[in-house]
Structure 1
């Protein structure tokens, strides 16, 4: 499809004439001006319940942390950002869409989330169809690159088309040439598995089995049997929390921990206890790949902001969604999405002056400079689909010391 992210003047003007379905706090009467002292209100759609609830705390914490730093610097367009409006995606399409409708009714100026790619698939039409910018820090489904979002959907997490390349390289680098794939039977699982198989075969490995499963299933005997019967020397599991049961059954079926490679949906320090409460070390040797950030300063600041936070996965990317949107509003001089959406790619483009904080970048904009916001998750550089073109990945593993990060690696689509 044609480039989605550069809105034409006609489209933007038409959106304003129609008054927008969601015009932001204050009714949007000053749209296109200096903000008129209007508040910029963020909504967030994240898993407060459901099988990805463990990702909820880092999502809301990162968003609140970003807003606190924006407010410490004087707010957006000189006005303090109010408390974020929350909605629960809950791992359920209907409930997620109802939460999205509530955020639209609350006339938020931007929505952070959803966390899960499937929940974004269920809600983006509601949100972007209302001409509200939506930015997810954790959506990775490759299918989201080409959605009909009217140019209003962005993400700071890399597409699975890039994650799968990194995973395939890790498998082959470990010496494996015969690989079995097991994936959730949804857009996330199917897209990741397709890209992973393509890259594995390009690297000379053979995919001897490619199994999918119903995430709502209570047993995975047929899937595990389909893998073990082919006797692969490595197995890649593309799953969320339910994958713990798949791992348990594969270990019982004779697959060793050293043969298992997992994705970000299972990047949980407590995975061993979830798989086998009486023997958490049963997963020792399991290796994983997840989008991440090599930024100790951010990690320390986030920990100080919320000392009780245990899981930080995708927190940097969520922080970058909030901050890049704030900078786009500053660049446009407006809280209205129809005004600032075209600035989102611009504030991250390499042609601008590099800057790393909201305050620094805002001041450069005030001086008339173009900026290149360098996110806490790394370089973003939104492309015409609203995707980041580069990302940092963590290679993690489980061993005698539990969950540990082996390395951080930067990869781009041009590698």
Structure 2
């Protein structure tokens, strides 16, 4: 059934599995990393609250107001598990959302299966999460990810590199990735995808996630004569960006650099993001659907910043999509909601969301394609007022600006 923000104020029964929710009304539990300080967790909390506020303004859900509860994972698997169990056992929430770090999500999968409460992810990207469902769908079917996984990101980054190979002469590219589970596809699969397009890949290395000195790595890349380096990183963008710019390195930076997907990154890194590029599910200037710019502007009006990566877009869309299915089925019972959500089509802020089926390689990850979700590649540029702006440079039909070469090249 197709929906697009339909009214959800209808009567029905509550409870994630048996109608015995511990709180009044509909309860949603969000697990976020350092909300209020870390950009990822803050974005998840903001997006979830916006979705809940809009639903309540529209009459609530099943004749009840929705209450959002937020827990800080503190980046720790034990803490996240404790908070999750408080949500599903003590509070009796009807669904959970969030989780940024792959290691925490992997640790929670057995708990989600045991307690049979729908979880809508909003930031973790490892294909390993999908493999739980692929190997035992009936046990792990309660997990949904309305933005896909890193295998899709790799294909999108490779496509962009091919475009820059033709348009800007990126004939030799290095690959450099943080040592985290979610970056494995960038190390394992990206070089081959580049070489298939006639691009030379003389450098493919991983580095510890606490690295703060990139000079030796950049020296090695320059010694290989690379035109660009494709990086996957979520924790070390600050020192990497600053050293790349201060040392005036003679190669472009692109890939999936999670921290510079944050609309506040240019200011946070003292302008060092200028000319850097990244792959993302959406930025506020990319008209991915007829809702993108309206959502982004409403978000800005509420929080003074534009939405941040999947942490904002997918969290908001995921909660709205779940609520639409709950309204359709007139219950929050997971055994009813899971098959209905798996078959649902939702028109969201980034396009049409549909989930891969039980027999696919990545069950319950969102489908990608021209008529569904797409990825964009943006570059940080400085406008006439001196402000940093995320300008889309690929795909061409969504581009808001041309690529700008660093001034020191």
Short-chain TM bin:
0.7 to 0.9
Inter-CA distance 27–136: structure 2 relative to 1 (3 Å threshold): closer
- Residue 183 of structure 1 pairs with residue 177 of structure 2: yes
Residue 157 of structure 1: aligned partner: 147
Mapped to 2, the partners of 1:53 and 1:24 lie a distance apart of 35
Deviation of 1:145 after TM superposition, in Å, equals: 1.9
- Residue 333 of structure 1 pairs with residue 339 of structure 2: no
Mapped to 1, the partners of 2:21 and 2:273 lie a distance apart of 54
Residue 102 of structure 2: aligned partner: 117
- 1:285-341 Cα offsets, whole Å, 9 max, x none, are 22221111631122223234x243455333222111101111222333322212211
Mapped to 2, the partners of 1:303 and 1:283 lie a distance apart of 21
Instruction: For residue 285 of structure 1, give the secondary structure of its aligned residue in structure 2.
Output: coil
Deviation of 1:84 after TM superposition, in Å, equals: 0.7
Mapped to 1, the partners of 2:193 and 2:206 lie a distance apart of 18
Deviation of 1:260 after TM superposition, in Å, equals: 0.8
Instruction: For residue 405 of structure 1, give the secondary structure of its aligned residue in structure 2.
Output: strand
Equivalent of 2:279, from 289, 303, 312? 289
Residue 31 of structure 1: aligned partner: none
- Residue 397 of structure 1 pairs with residue 379 of structure 2: yes
Residue 347 of structure 2: aligned partner: 374
Residue 299 of structure 1: aligned partner: 296
Equivalent of 2:25, from 23, 39, 57? 39
Instruction: For residue 138 of structure 1, give the secondary structure of its aligned residue in structure 2.
Output: coil
Residue 128 of structure 1: aligned partner: 113
CA contact (8 A) 2:99 2:124 kept: yes
Deviation of 1:154 after TM superposition, in Å, equals: 0.6
Mapped to 2, the partners of 1:249 and 1:338 lie a distance apart of 51
Q: Output aligned runs, 1:312-323, within 5 Å.
A: 312-314=308-310, 315-323=312-320
- 5+ residue gaps, structure 1, are 1-19, 29-36, 349-372
Inter-CA distance 311–299: structure 2 relative to 1 (3 Å threshold): closer
- 1:69-108 Cα offsets, whole Å, 9 max, x none, are 2223322222221x21111123233332232222223221
Give me the CA root mean square deviation.
Answer: 2.9
Inter-CA distance 68–61: structure 2 relative to 1 (3 Å threshold): same
CA contact (8 A) 2:61 2:323 kept: yes
State TM-score, norm by structure 1.
0.76
Mapped to 2, the partners of 1:375 and 1:214 lie a distance apart of 36
Mapped to 2, the partners of 1:223 and 1:122 lie a distance apart of 32
Deviation of 1:66 after TM superposition, in Å, equals: 1.4
Deviation of 1:165 after TM superposition, in Å, equals: 1.7
Instruction: For residue 397 of structure 1, give the secondary structure of its aligned residue in structure 2.
Output: strand
Deviation of 1:252 after TM superposition, in Å, equals: 5.5
- 1:178-199 Cα offsets, whole Å, 9 max, x none, are 1111111111111233332232
State TM-score, norm by structure 2.
0.77
Deviation of 1:231 after TM superposition, in Å, equals: 2.3
Inter-CA distance 143–272: structure 2 relative to 1 (3 Å threshold): same
Q: Output aligned runs, 1:58-73, within 5 Å.
A: 58-73=43-58
Q: Output aligned runs, 1:137-176, within 5 Å.
A: 137-148=122-133, 150-174=140-164, 175-176=169-170
- Residue 99 of structure 1 pairs with residue 66 of structure 2: no
Residue 256 of structure 2: aligned partner: 263
Instruction: For residue 374 of structure 2, give the secondary structure of its aligned residue in structure 1.
Output: strand
Equivalent of 1:387, from 341, 359, 365? 365
CA contact (8 A) 2:145 2:365 kept: yes
User: How many pairs align?
Assistant: 351
Deviation of 1:23 after TM superposition, in Å, equals: 4.1
Runs of 4+ with >6 A deviation = none
Mapped to 1, the partners of 2:46 and 2:103 lie a distance apart of 22
CA contact (8 A) 1:113 1:135 kept: yes
Inter-CA distance 27–159: structure 2 relative to 1 (3 Å threshold): closer
Mapped to 2, the partners of 1:397 and 1:64 lie a distance apart of 29
- Residue 197 of structure 1 pairs with residue 182 of structure 2: no
- 1:12-65 Cα offsets, whole Å, 9 max, x none, are xxxxxxxx9x7466359xxxxxxxx97321110112269x81122321121122
Inter-CA distance 96–222: structure 2 relative to 1 (3 Å threshold): farther
Instruction: For residue 63 of structure 2, give the secondary structure of its aligned residue in structure 1.
Output: coil
Residue 403 of structure 2: aligned partner: none
Mapped to 2, the partners of 1:79 and 1:270 lie a distance apart of 36
Mapped to 2, the partners of 1:219 and 1:260 lie a distance apart of 16
Mapped to 1, the partners of 2:31 and 2:187 lie a distance apart of 26
Deviation of 1:409 after TM superposition, in Å, equals: 4.3
